[in-house]
Structure 1
Amino acid sequence: MIFHIAEESDWAAAQVAGDYRISTRGRTLADEGFIHASRRGQVLGVAEAAYLDAGPLLLLSIDPDRLTSPVRDDEVAPGIVFPHIYGPVNLDAVVAVAPLERTADGRFVMPPG
């Protein structure tokens, strides 16, 4: 399983459009050439680095075997590898959507499961 942090409005737009094309906060697939994703252990670090001042967030759980676009692990810094999706995310590859909640002191918490 790979994961993607999405703003609620972007996920709602994808439901209308038929696929998801946001790479990361404020950047589209067309802007970046791929969609940023994370392994489970990377999600909170990404949230803390890029989404501290964001509105309501969702965590998309994506089954790579269901994707119609290729996924590649890319080294973004020495020894640091993240999965990237090289095309739109077909909606049926998203097997779960859960709110990415925060604690009272603002820290992100992974959804159960």
Structure 2
Amino acid sequence: MLIYKIFLADEWAALRRDGSTEGAPIDVADGYVHFSTAGQAPETAEKYFAGIEGLMLVAVDADAAGADLKWEPSRGGALFPHLYRRLTMDDVVWAQPLPIAGGAHQFPAGLEEASR
């Protein structure tokens, strides 16, 4: 199963440059890297990244993350994937821009199906 992280442009550039990251400031503060499932990612984008251009959607294989990935309750009690270690470029399965059209971020077609 793929899980997803939304990065600001400078955060994505830093991950590519450095090869690993502790995540965004909220990740550092919480002590883990926040991820979303395919079904959760659009709401995450709307809630935390509304109107922000230049985002990158990064896919990571949940199984490959191993024991460092924990599924914990968050918004509305839904379980969200949290990575309790640095995210590395080796973890990234794919990454692509998350453009805005019609006032909303446009996720890749077939995101749900591709993540199963």
Give the shorter-chain TM-score range.
Answer: 0.7 to 0.9
User: Following the alignment from structure 2 to structure 1, what is the Cα–Cα distance between the partners of residues 86 and 10?
Assistant: 17
Q: What's 1:55 paired with?
A: 53
The structure that is helix-richer by fraction is 2
Q: What's 2:107 paired with?
A: 110
Relative contact order, CA 8 A, sep 6+: which one is greater? Answer: 2
* Letter of the structure 1 residue corresponding to residue 106 of structure 2: V
Greater than 6 Å deviation, 4+ residue runs: none
* Letter of the structure 2 residue corresponding to residue 6 of structure 1: F
Identity %: 28
Calculate the TM-score normalised by the size of structure 1.
Answer: 0.85
The DSSP-based 3-state class of the residue aligned with 1:3 is strand
Shift of 1:68: 6.8
User: Following the alignment from structure 1 to structure 2, what is the Cα–Cα distance between the partners of residues 98 and 77?
Assistant: 25
Calculate the TM-score normalised by the size of structure 2.
Answer: 0.83
User: Which stretches in structure 2 are left out of the alignment for 5+ residues?
Assistant: 111-116
Q: What's 2:113 paired with?
A: none
* Letter of the structure 1 residue corresponding to residue 3 of structure 2: I
User: Which stretches in structure 1 are left out of the alignment for 5+ residues?
Assistant: none
